[in-house]
Chain A
């Protein structure tokens, strides 16, 4: 299917143009989610998109699946409920860097720890865009923001390492410049049985770029191009060359651990002594 047909099929009629700013990377990430769903041939009625609050979380309102636009940071608990009630459904969580790692940070580590089957697409635009550009836990150290006019002094999260340590069994990263890689890792994330997190590095020209000498959306995409390194090349780089750069692609995958809804089904069977 062509991209035009994909947009016509998976977006709610009459909702475009979307509300995101000119040059915002969120549109590219949302398009990649649709490409992944299309590639896998999933039934739209069997897919649930759950989002929290923020710029990225508005995606649930545009997409023509079963969607829930939940409370700030609470997309993962809602998604956990949906998945436990109907384990056959494909659950995709759309969340932002602030929504997922600050307000919903605790939910994130525990969803990862349980290894519940869902795909989290974390739109990392490095800032709280909707509320006016406050710095988030994923704003790179030394960046400026409305709440950090002299640049941030806080170490930012590497969310891929965070969820890997917490117990996620599929971790990947890509950028909006590398949109093909992004669609590919989202596809693999949806196929993975267990907790999958994909960090999608997206540009925020309005709230992040303007404060950091990159007001042009294309400049932010060039920054992604110049700082992202494919995983295979990253593994061969020494520490000095890795400085300031980040790996993209599938970073971690473990298929040996038990998935939560499956374990829960087993528990029910055990508690009922094999008789339902």
Chain B
């Protein structure tokens, strides 16, 4: 299980960051989503489900 981020599509809206139950994600200085604690990811898929830009996927 691993997170796949497609940074070129990300607009930094922060929806994934807000709904991540484990605080895995954050918005970087350049306003893109980044995984700051990837080891905490439980693969729930809340980020993938609500990302409006198809920029984050959970690979199982």
Residues of A near any B CB (own CB < 8 A): 2-4, 7, 11, 16-18, 20-28, 31, 176-177, 179-180, 205, 216-218, 221-222
Question: Chain B contacts of A180 at CB under 8 A?
Answer: 49
Give the residue name and chain of the B residue nearest to A7 (CB): B54
Report whether A218 and B52 are in contact in the complex, using a CB–CB cutoff of 8 Å.
Answer: no
A38 to chain B, nearest CB (A): 14
**Knowing A24-B52, A27-B52 touch, does A4 contact B4 (C-beta < 8 A)?**
yes
**Can you list 24 A-B contacts (CB < 8 A)?**
A3-B48, A3-B54, A3-B57, A4-B57, A17-B8, A17-B53, A18-B53, A21-B11, A22-B12, A23-B13, A24-B52, A27-B52, A28-B52, A31-B54, A176-B52, A177-B50, A179-B50, A205-B13, A216-B14, A218-B15, A218-B17, A221-B15, A221-B19, A221-B50
Report whether A176 and B50 are in contact in the complex, using a CB–CB cutoff of 8 Å.
Answer: yes
Q: CA separation between A268 and B17, bound complex, in Å?
A: 57
Question: Chain A contacts of B50 at CB under 8 A?
Answer: 28, 176-177, 179, 221
Is B28 an interface residue, CB under 8 A from the partner?
no
**Among candidates B9, B19, B54, B59, residue contacting A218 with C-beta atoms closer than 8 Å:** B19
**Knowing A4-B4, A16-B9, A17-B8 touch, does A26 contact B52 (C-beta < 8 A)?**
yes
Residues of B near any A CB (own CB < 8 A): 4, 8-9, 11-15, 17-19, 48-55, 57, 59-60
Question: Chain A contacts of B15 at CB under 8 A?
Answer: 23, 217-218, 221
Question: Chain A contacts of B8 at CB under 8 A?
Answer: 17
Question: Chain A contacts of B51 at CB under 8 A?
Answer: 27-28
Beyond the given pairs A4-B4, A27-B54, 18 more chain A to chain B contacts, judged by CB atoms under 8 angstroms and listed by A's residue number, are A7-B54, A16-B9, A17-B55, A20-B52, A23-B52, A28-B51, A31-B54, A176-B50, A176-B52, A179-B50, A205-B13, A216-B14, A217-B13, A217-B14, A217-B52, A218-B14, A218-B19, A222-B18
Report whether A23 and B54 are in contact in the complex, using a CB–CB cutoff of 8 Å.
Answer: no
A14 to chain B, nearest CB (A): 12
